[in-house]
Amino acid sequence: MLEEEILSYWQDRDVLHKTMERMASGQPFVFCEGPPTTRNRPHMGDALPRAVKDAFLRYQIMNGRKIVPYIAGWDCHGLPVEIEVERALALKTKAEIESYGIAEFNALCRERVVRFKAEWEQMSHRIGYWLDYDNAYMTMSNEYIESVWWAVKQLHSKGMLTRGRHVAAYCYRCGTTLSSHEVALGFKETEDRSVIARFRVSDLDASILSYTVSPWTLVANTFLAVRRDWEYAVVEVDGERYILGRAHALRLLPGARVVETLSGESLLGKDYEPLFEFAKCGGNAFKIVHSDEVPEADGTGVMQISPAYATADYDIALDEGSEIFDPVDDSGRFTSAIPELKGQVAGDSDAEVIRLLESAGHLFKWELIHHSYPFCWRCDTPLIYRPMDAWIVAASSARDRMRELNDAIRWIPSSYKRGRFGNFVNEAKDWVVSRARYWGTPLPIWRCASGHELCVGSMEELNQHSVDPVPADIDLHRPYVDTIHLRCPECGDSMTREEYVLDCWFDSGCAPFAQYHYPFENMEEFDVHRAVDFISESADQTRGWFYTQHVLATLLFDSPAFKSVLVMGQVYDDKGRKMCSSEGAGVDPDEVFSSVGADASRLFLLSSPVWQGVEFSRENIRLTMVRTLTTLLNVYAFFAANSNRVNYRGESLTRKTHDLDVWIISRLNMTVVESRRAFEALEVHRAVRAIISFVDDLSNWYLRRSRKRFFQVADPEDRFSAFSTLHECLTTISKTMAPVTPFLAEGLYKSLRGPLDSVHIETYPVAEREAINRSLESQMSLVRQAVEAGRLARQKAGVKLRQPLEEAVIAAGEDGMWVLRRYERMIADELNVKRLECIESRESMIEYALTPNLRALGPRLKESAAEVAKLMEMIDGSEMVRHLAASGKIRIGGFDIFEEDVIVVEKEKPGYSHASIGAVHVYVSTAVRSKLKLEGLSREVVRRIQHMRKEMGLEFGEPIIVEYVTNPEVEQAISAYETNILRDTNASSLTSRPSVDGGRMWAINKMPFEVSVRRP
């Protein structure tokens, strides 16, 4: 069945709902769907997380667990959506958006989200990610927003959410701030300028040198910081005197004359001259202060302080009671406070500022540097830091508790707990959650003219405080919510909403409870299922969704948001680029699924550890399909074609006696054991690998070796055993594979007439421990190893497998020898040899050649060395090696010769070709005597005839009449092996003719063989 047919089968039979019914009474397995943002079409990189989550959920369902809640979720808000709409409308600034109209703009954002949500649903449907999509949570719904408001109010009433002026990372293109975890998303290596500026200290008749990697911020410099406990040096260079850290002076100006040493303490409080005339700043500015932040490793030991553009600098200005000089506007450009630079983008003005420094005589030196700098993760604009009014969650105060709660979380891979995630928690910063934007959850805080604040935590409160009645069908988004005014409970004045929306990461961080519309509905549902058992998203959520959930769960509930988390790697395209729709490097999933299939894609993606990055490759997916899925379907096709013939109807047989049956059933049960272990350990790739290797064993060994048993008439019981074994393997593997390849598993299960509507409402197989026979498994794996090595040995000699050979000798150690002897007939048959010998040591199959080691012999035997060497070459090498190995020395020409005196070279025994795999060494005799050659030719004849039978679509057992024309050699082979040929091809006659009508011309070893095959 094609995947599309399976999809409609599921639809027609309403299988998803049947699954939900089945799990209704199960023990809960709490899940939370990490909501994808639906601003663009999904690409192949988006498919991996969905396949992974689906596999785990299906596995839990088949184990009788009830997934709660089993619903999809969509992240609808945020700047990424706005940016797409801005692009579509060619709007460049916030002013342009506002003149376009916030209502119209937001309507387009909503429309875009809904449109792409449909595409995401389609992709999820096609890849078989089962969830309840009809009842999905959407972060833009009024219910979801109300839950987020509730969370905001909790934080506000605990004093954890406050309004303040803070220096924050700012994107001037987006016109809004970024939180620290958003900043962490966007670091890139970049080339910039660094500068050392000179600041004149008239008191000391010298200039202080200070280093910065953001030269443009020097325009707002108002302090210099030193460390009070450090030593500073006054050095003289070209008649000028400079002050800098003593240690730094040695590094930066080696050889400069130190005139004087000063303590950092003695510099404190000294005034210096402002760099530029435009730098005007009231209060106590332009003096030297102390800071612990002055870097030791680089720079000059003096830090320049621009309070407007760095958090630590801002605090210094507050401590010193100085004003803040901030000549940058919201568009990131210099204001008229700097006439020379007015209108220029501040962050791009390094070169200009360096020129200004130079003309003012304040430049000491500048150079190009490479460093890591933060860019806006949404629009790739370099960020700057600037003072902003903002609403801030005091996350840093919960750092210790967040660390403690993280201890209870199981991270896969475990390194995340103390590594990437743990480190980030250890440095948790306060979280700026307000955004001066449009498409987001509105901040539910209203203020009156006297500065009283009211935070609204529900629709009910909104109604209660509203001046005018709130329309019942209100859209809570901007601009509608902005028109609502509240009556101030303290002074009775009208209150206006703070015009911010929330960081969209705040929305998604609320998902564990907001998806229930908690606490307005489903109170109990959430309270019972508060701790999520399992989430899984890609690694870039470490500082995104994983983190914001953890912050909010800590602050709101004082408990971890999730118990275990599986971190997935990124999907890269075939050029090694991270798949990302905004960069156009995505691959269209639809196109992949219709060409190679969703199952093959799932199997491929899940066959390596999901936390490693995976490189998408259509060719590898195709190979996965051919090697495993097509192979399995061929095994089924064999079963289906032949079970009808013997009226086998799926009956099972409990007692199996044939070695191959016992072996494959053991392998089947081990595969089930391994799959279960892998799923429980969240290491699905181990399950996939176990399944892949089982399918190989089933097709390429079990069926291959058992094929004749399915056709035999002599022993019907054995035939029945083979059918029932194969049936059991196919049925059980369909269930074992169901979570990974849901389509093929379903098709297989239905074809085998599984008793239920779907394999997905079956119970996941449980291994029968007593059916596992480890020693038989290891024996059979040794046999396969020997066969593999034997085939390699044949290949080396260039002898086709169809050509019978006289003999194979296998050396496999003492234990191996006994095992292989037990399977002699099977191995001889596989290797197509007349005789097989299994021995312990390969010694007798090796010949040695010896050459004298003149470097050792020369110094010891002096002039006799050449004569001894000549004698050695006359003795049989193998003889000598054996003798040396036995007694340690040998006597030649009156001298003792030791092992180190000879160089031993191993040689293949003449007449044999050899290959080894591990400790198994196989030697096949390569001489083809004429009788063997004729037999080989007869098999070539059989193969040609069988090929034609197959092309004619003949049923097994249908007789044929064969006529042929050929040369004397092939003729000789046919008459020598006529009986075999008649039997193997089920021919009733085999006749040589001078010519045949409608025959087909073949070449057998370059000899002509024209043959016609027909029904009698």
Using CA atoms, how far apart are residues 866 and 868, in angstroms rounded to an integer?
A: 6
In which element (H, E) is residue 930 found?
helix 930-951
Token digits for 345?
């983008």
Q: At closest approach, how far in Å is the CB of 84 from Zn ion?
A: 13
Q: How far is the CB of 174 from Zn ion (least distance, A)?
A: 3
Six-digit token string for 163: 């309004």
Closest CA to 661 of 716, 709, 731: 709
Q: Which of 228, 403, 429, 452 binds Zn ion (CB under 5 A)?
A: 452
Each residue 276-305 as x (binds Zn ion by CB under 5 A) or -, in order, gives ------------------------------
End-to-end CA distance of the chain: 36
Q: Which stretch binds Zn ion (CB under 5 A): 188-196, 242-250, 281-289, 489-497?
A: 489-497
Nearest residue (CB) to Zn ion, 245 versus 382? 382
Residues 824-863 that bind Zn ion (CB under 5 A): none
**Cβ contact 605:47 at 8 Å:** yes
Q: Name the residue nearer to Zn ion (CB basis): 301 or 374.
A: 374
Say whether 495 sits in a helix, a strand or coil: strand
Kindly determine how many residues on this chain lie close enough to bind Zn ion according to the rule CB under 5 A. 14
Residue 491 touching Zn ion (CB under 5 A): yes
Shortest distance in whole angstroms from residue 496 CB to Zn ion: 11
- Distance of alpha carbon 599 from the chain centroid: 17
Distance of closest approach, residue 380 Cβ to Zn ion, in angstroms = 7
Q: Does 490 bind Zn ion (CB under 5 A)?
A: yes
Q: Which CB atom, from 171 or from 484, has the smaller least distance to Zn ion?
A: 171
Q: How far is the CB of 505 from Zn ion (least distance, A)?
A: 15
Alpha-carbon distance of 487 to 482, in angstroms, equals 14
Taking the least distance from each CB to Zn ion, the nearer of 454 and 857 is 454
Q: 331 or 594, CB closer to Zn ion? A: 331
From residue 295, give the alpha-carbon distance in Å to each of 225, 385, 406, 468.
Answer: 10, 19, 32, 57
Look at the block and give the residue holding tokens 């994808």: 36
> Token pair of 52, please?
């992974």
With beta carbons less than 8 A apart as the criterion, state whether 970 and 905 touch: no
Closest distance between Zn ion and the C-beta of residue 674, in Å?
A: 48
**What is the C-alpha to C-alpha distance for residues 279 and 245, in angstroms, rounded to an integer?**
26
Region 10-29 residues binding Zn ion, contact defined as CB under 5 A? none
Residue 381 C-beta: closest distance to Zn ion, Å: 5
Phi and psi at residue 889, in whole multiples of 5°?
Answer: -155, 165
Stretch in the footprint of Zn ion (CB under 5 A) among 197-205, 270-278, 488-496, 608-616: 488-496
CA proximity to 629, closest of 540, 719, 733, 538 = 733
Q: How many CB atoms lie within 10 A of CB 892?
A: 18
What's 348-406 look like in SS3?
HCHHHHHHHHHHCCCEEEEEEEEEEEEECCCCCCECEEEEEEEEEECHHHHHHHHHHHH
Shortest Å, Cβ 443 to Zn ion:
18
Residue 467 as a binder of Zn ion (CB under 5 A): the answer is no
The distance of closest approach from Cβ of residue 436 to Zn ion in the complex, given in angstroms and rounded to an integer, is 12
Q: Does 436 bind Zn ion (CB under 5 A)?
A: no
Half-sphere exposure of 984 (CA within 13 A, CB side): 16
Any contact of residue 486 with Zn ion (CB under 5 A)?
no
Among positions 448, 566, 729, 827, the unique one binding Zn ion when judged by CB under 5 A: 448
Cα angle for residues 688, 535, 178 (degrees, 5° grid): 125
Per CB under 5 A, contacts with Zn ion among 149-208 are 171, 173-174
> Least separation, in Å, of the C-beta of 495 and Zn ion?
7
Least distance to Zn ion from the beta carbon of 570, Å? 22
CA angle at 458 for the pair 456 and 460, rounded to the nearest 5°? 105
Of 135, 261, 266, 450, the one binding Zn ion by CB under 5 A: 450
| Comparison of 53 and 173: residue with beta carbon closer to Zn ion | 173
Min dist CB 579 to Zn ion, Å, is 21
Residues 370-399 binding Zn ion (CB under 5 A) are: 376, 378-379, 381
Under 8 Å between Cβ of 70 and 151: no
Name residue 257's beta-bridge partners: 236
Task: Specify the residue, 170 or 639, whose C-beta has the smaller distance to Zn ion.
Answer: 170
Q: Identify residues 930-989 at the interface with Zn ion (CB under 5 A).
A: none
Q: How far is the CB of 432 from Zn ion (least distance, A)?
A: 15
Considering the complex, state which of residue 86 and residue 350 has its C-beta at the smaller distance from Zn ion.
Answer: 86
Q: Which of residues 311 and 381 has its CB atom nearest to Zn ion in the complex?
A: 381
Give the SS3 label for residue 565: strand
Output 448 or 555, the one with its CB closest to Zn ion: 448
Asked if 775 contacts 761 with a C-beta cutoff of 8 angstroms, the reply is no
Residue reference for tokens 């006749």: 991
Cβ 617 to Zn ion shortest distance, Å: 33
Looking at this protein, which amino acid is placed at residue 800?
Answer: K
CA distances from 687 to 60, 362, 603, 745 (A): 14, 67, 10, 15
According to CB under 5 A, which residues from 338 to 367 bind Zn ion?
A: none
Give the nearer residue to Zn ion in terms of CB position, either 107 or 379.
Answer: 379
Measured CA to CA, the distance from residue 889 to residue 873 in angstroms comes to 16
Our CB check for Zn ion shows the closer of 168 and 960 to be 168
Task: Report the 10 Å Cβ neighbour count for 479.
Answer: 17
Residue type, 986: N
For Zn ion, give the closer residue by CB, 174 or 196.
174
Q: Which of residues 988-1007 bind Zn ion (CB under 5 A)?
A: none
Segment interacting with Zn ion, rule: CB under 5 A, options 307-315, 422-430, 441-449, 549-557: 441-449
CB nearer to Zn ion: give 450 or 988. 450
Q: Among 220, 488, 890, 915, which residue sits at the site for Zn ion (rule: CB under 5 A)? A: 488
Q: Which residues bind Zn ion (CB under 5 A)?
A: 171, 173-174, 376, 378-379, 381, 448, 450, 452, 488, 490-491, 493
